[in-house]
Chain A
Amino acid sequence: MEEVEMAAKKRDEERVASAPAYFDNIHTKRKLLSLINFILLAAGSLLILSPIWWMISTSLKSMAEVMTYPPTFYPHEWNWGNYIKTWKAAPFDTYAINTITITMLVVIGSVLVNSFIAYGFAKVPFKGRGILFAIVLSTMMIPGFVTLIPQYVLFSKLQWINTYYPLVVPAFFGSAFFIFLLRQFYMTIPNELIEAAKIEGASHFRIWWTIGLPLTKPALATVAIFSFNGAWNDFLGPLLYLNDENLYTLQLGLQVFKGEMNTQWNYLMAGSLLVLLPVIILFFFFQKYFIQGINLQSGGK
């Protein structure tokens, strides 16, 4: 009898004791899970960021350290001066201004012109629209190198070699990919919106400007970023068309660090990072727009 009581008591005690342990268990389990999650995510980010770290680390090393074997993970000597030396190794001020000029114009051109053309293809019915659109799209299939030389010859005949026109003017004639992208976006805008504006007396240009542009902002942000990226990182265009070193862009300037035998890796990395910076900033800035978007149906049902 006593034994039974004892046993019962013991069981009770155990239950009492095990209750917090049980909760603890859930707690630690959760903690552990989030820890594992964290570690996995961190590892993933590190993996993705490792090339960037590699660039940073190399950019701060001396050339002698870059050349040591096995490579050092972080610089033993932090040569912050590399950045200044890099910037001074070539007229990078000029290159930066040149690049900004070209890029701005290309972005403005791409955003406005492609949007305008896309509006036309999406919202203005006209004879042969489908065929024309197919032709525009088909230009996407032509590989770039096929048109390279003819295009160069054309610009040469226009006396545009060694000017920014070949780099900027094409942006004002639209690009098939952007047109396609924006047209898809315009298709989601109800026709009634356009028709309502038409009845209220707006011209197509006006409708595009006051309704089309604001409603396609997310797509325009995408176009802006893509075209910014394209112009900013364009290497072949400036290479082919610019003969005067005063007109060179950052991407061309970076090439002074690459030689037929030796490459000045520390300067090249420092320079590449400096050139990359605006692109990264821009991405952070526009990230919002990508996610946000505008609910086009909000004015309707």
Chain B
Amino acid sequence: MSKIVLKNVYKHFDKKVTAVSDFNLTVEDGEFIVLVGPSGCGKSTVLRMIAGLEEISSGEFYIDGKLMNDVPPKSRDIAMVFQNYALYPHMTVFDNMAFGLKIRKFQKDKIKKRVEEAAELLGLEDLLHRKPKALSGGQRQRVALGRSIVRDAKLFLMDEPLSNLDAKLRFQMRAEIAKLHQRLKTTSIYVTHDQTEAMTMASRIIIMKDGVIQQIGTPKDVYDNPENTFVGGFIGSPSMNFFDGRIVNSQFIADDVHINIPEEKMAYLREQGYAGKELTMGIRPEHIHLLTGEEEAELTNSILSKIIVSELTGADTLLYSMLGTQEMIAEVESRTNVTAGEDVYLTFNMDCAHFFDKETGVRIRPEKSAVLVG
């Protein structure tokens, strides 16, 4: 059981590429941390530095208070699952799982016991004598998991372990991994670029971009209070809507559309000098509602839009339209039979809207941390 700390960690490749900059993280014992971010943002690099497969260019890395920078991988007591499983093709499932134990000179019967236990946990009992070639993708994935759990390592690293599986299997394995973690409670760091995986599995999510951490927080936290436009746009599907506009007289004006801003928000926007300035408003599709009666439209903060595409996803329907010249998506109940080409009234739940600095993309917060709830 372990706690890990990364302090001001940098990674440079060939002195030119900086893959990771100033990475700071503290992981408490038993946490399930998920690292997300677009391809090439440095997720794998962070994981590989933790595993010891990649040197840390500068900064410090501790496990349970012990500096690990120069400790070789085999002495870090870490287990890792790779994206392509990295099973040894010439060994049986049993031998694949027993490999690490043999190296650590466990006794034969003990090895057998541990491997069988893990196999049972993962439903691999009948496959122990097969070679990886004779397994399906999901089975291979399970063997890879099994191989890392038999050793009972302090820290569990997983680098996009599900990305080679089809959607259904991915869903199933996701649940299994979650279950496994609940049972074993091993501190885990999990890399993915799939935000659904991140949201469903993580105790805390780290969102990265270009080697820099954008935000760390619980799934709910990063969803509700994105630190910047990048996080807002990255987390959540469909993506948050962003509109560029100006604040004039307590109204957000984008092109020729005027939207009233609630007074409490307006208060800190004004306080921070954004009145009359350009900024970006963000609002999630589920916070845009469809109005039915025209009278209602008169009363509330609503706009008339022409629906371009209407997309039924199951429980919901996505309505694509334009706010002035800017694209807009609304997520509404699927029972509403709005079709493409129709003119409808949409209204924004402005309590759940966020405002971002236009230049930096950073969210504008109420100064005295009066937290918004959506």
Contacts and interface: CB of A to CB of B under 8 A. Distances in A.
Interface stretch (B87-95, B179-187, B268-276, B301-309): B87-95
A297 B53 CA distance: 21
B73 interface: yes
A195 interface: yes
A294 interface: yes
A212 to B, nearest CB: 11
B100 A201 contact: yes
A138 interface: no
Interface residues of A, number: 25
A202 B103 contact: yes
Contact of B131 (A193, A202, A206, A298): A298
B84 to A, nearest CB: 4
Contact of B82 (A196, A206, A214, A296): A196
B232 interface: no
A294 B90 CA distance: 9
Interface in B38-91: 51-53, 72-76, 78-80, 82-90
Interface residues of B, number: 32
A201 B84 CA distance: 20
B99 interface: yes
A113 to B, nearest CB: 22
Contacts of B100: 200-201
A214 B90 CA distance: 7
A200 B111 CA distance: 14
Contacts, number: 84
A199 B51 contact: yes
Contacts of A202: 74, 99, 103
B90 A196 contact: no
Nearest to B83: A192
Nearest to B74: A201
A203 B78 CA distance: 15
A15 interface: no
Given A193-B88, A195-B86, A299 B99 contact: no
Given A190-B84, A197-B99, A298-B132, A215 B89 contact: yes
A201 B53 contact: no
Interface in B145-186: 147, 151, 164
B83 to A, nearest CB: 8
B142 interface: no
B89 A296 contact: yes
A295 B134 CA distance: 12
In terms of DSSP, what is the predominant structure of the interface of chain A?
Answer: helix
A214 B319 CA distance: 58
A247 to B, nearest CB: 40
Contacts of A201: 74-75, 100, 103-104
Contacts of B7: none
A150 B164 CA distance: 57
A294 B140 CA distance: 18
A295 B133 CA distance: 9
Nearest to B85: A300
Contact of A299 (B52, B89, B103): B89
A299 B74 contact: no
A39 interface: no
Contacts of B137: 301
Interface in A162-215: 190, 192-193, 195-203, 206, 210-211, 214-215
Interface of B: 51-53, 72-76, 78-80, 82-90, 99-100, 103-104, 131-133, 137, 140, 147, 151, 164
Given A200-B147, A295-B89, A301-B137, 11 more contacts: A192-B83, A195-B80, A198-B73, A199-B51, A199-B52, A200-B103, A203-B74, A206-B103, A211-B88, A294-B89, A299-B88
Closest 5 CB pairs of A and B: A200-B100, A192-B86, A299-B87, A299-B89, A298-B133
21 contacts: A190-B86, A192-B83, A195-B80, A196-B82, A198-B52, A198-B53, A198-B73, A198-B74, A199-B74, A199-B76, A200-B99, A201-B100, A201-B104, A210-B99, A215-B89, A298-B132, A299-B86, A299-B87, A300-B85, A300-B86, A301-B84
